[in-house]
Amino acid sequence: MSTYAVAVRHAAMAAARLHHNLGTQEQVVREGGRVDVFEAAARLDVPLLFRPLEGLLGAFLNDPIPGVLVTTRRPLSVQRFTTAHELGHQQLGRKPSLDDESMLVRSPFVAQPAYPLQEVEANAFAVTFLMPRWLITWHCEHQGWIGPALQRPDVVYQLSLRIGASYQATCWTLARYKLLSAPTAKKLAGIEPRGIKADLLSGYDPPDFRGDVWTLSEVDRGMTISGSRSDLFVLRLPEHSGSGYLWHFEQLQDAGFALVRDEREGAVEDTVGGHVTRRVTALSRER
């Protein structure tokens, strides 16, 4: 392993091999979700512990047996990436590693001599395992996000939620797969997610912006949505009262959600029974 290119290629092949061995692609396409790196660790019998670490995001240890340690003090997207990074060390048979914040800023696809190849290799494994091209392609095709749509920050943000990655990481991964140009990816990555969330909520002011904002439609029917307690959900559903095609949200409320906004888009004044889009914003009552 003498060059960055060899290290990255080796790691990417290891990630693809693990997907094949675990049957990940078939499972994700069937359920319409994201790569479950925590389940992967369990299926590999790799002990995975979450602790409130000080100054570390995670660690890979191999004495007395290989195991992974991940901080509880960072968001889920960082925990997922950290787990995949440490799992990369394990899959590639590397020595123990303690990983801090620098893990998040170094690119595995640009030569950076200051970083050990072992760490570059683990980052390349993490990116390839969590965000394989087939996963991004599947979600884009399923949602109809093609061509210019991927240049919209709200679309890239929604894609990032579905694949379980940070918004910025998704921007740069789209550039890596040639689905965005490097200048466009840089421009999108410079947009703060808070502003995107505010735009998606269309004037509703949430208690805070800690959570993510999911926009869901009939296309998401049957899909696995891996949201958190602090997330908000904007449902946009077609409705035609004239034919009795109406939505009722009692089950949503029974499941512990509060409806904080309910409006109809496309309704024509003084018209009854026409086609409209029901736009409902919901959040967990246990935030």
Q: How many residues in total does the chain contain?
A: 287
Answer whether residue 131 shows pLDDT above 70. Answer: yes
Phi, psi at residue 54, to the nearest 5°? -100, 120
pLDDT at 278 (0 to 100): 85
pTM metric for this prediction: 0.87
Answer whether residue 165 shows pLDDT above 50. Answer: yes
Answer whether residue 267 shows pLDDT above 60. Answer: no
Q: Do domains 4-130 and 195-284 have the same CATH topology?
A: no
- Asked if residue 163 lies in contact with residue 170, where contact means CB atoms within 8 angstroms, the answer is yes
Task: For residues 78-100, give the mean pLDDT.
Answer: 94
How far is CA 76 from each of CA 20, 125, 167, rounded to the nearest angstrom?
25, 18, 13
Instruction: Break the chain into its structural domains and give their ranges.
Output: 4-130, 134-190, 195-284
Residues 209-264: tens digit of each pLDDT: 989 999 999 999 888 888 888 999 999 888 755 544 456 677 777 778 888 888 88
Name the fold adopted by 195-284.
Answer: Immunoglobulin-like (2.60.40)
Residues 9-26: tens digit of each pLDDT: 999 999 999 999 999 999
- Asked if residue 230 lies in contact with residue 211, where contact means CB atoms within 8 angstroms, the answer is yes
Answer whether residue 270 shows pLDDT above 70. Answer: no
Q: E-strand spans in the chain?
A: 48-51, 58-61, 67-71, 97-99, 213-216, 232-240, 257-265, 275-284
Handedness of CA 147, 24, 48, 110 (dihedral sign): negative
Taking domain 4-130, whether its CATH number is 3.40.50.2000 is answered by no
pLDDT at 24 (0 to 100): 94
pLDDT at 246 (0 to 100): 53
Residues 34-73: tens digit of each pLDDT: 999 999 999 999 999 999 999 999 999 988 888 999 999 9
- Asked if residue 231 lies in contact with residue 214, where contact means CB atoms within 8 angstroms, the answer is yes
Burial class from Cβ neighbours inside 10 Å (0-12, 13-18, 19+) for residue 191 reads: middle
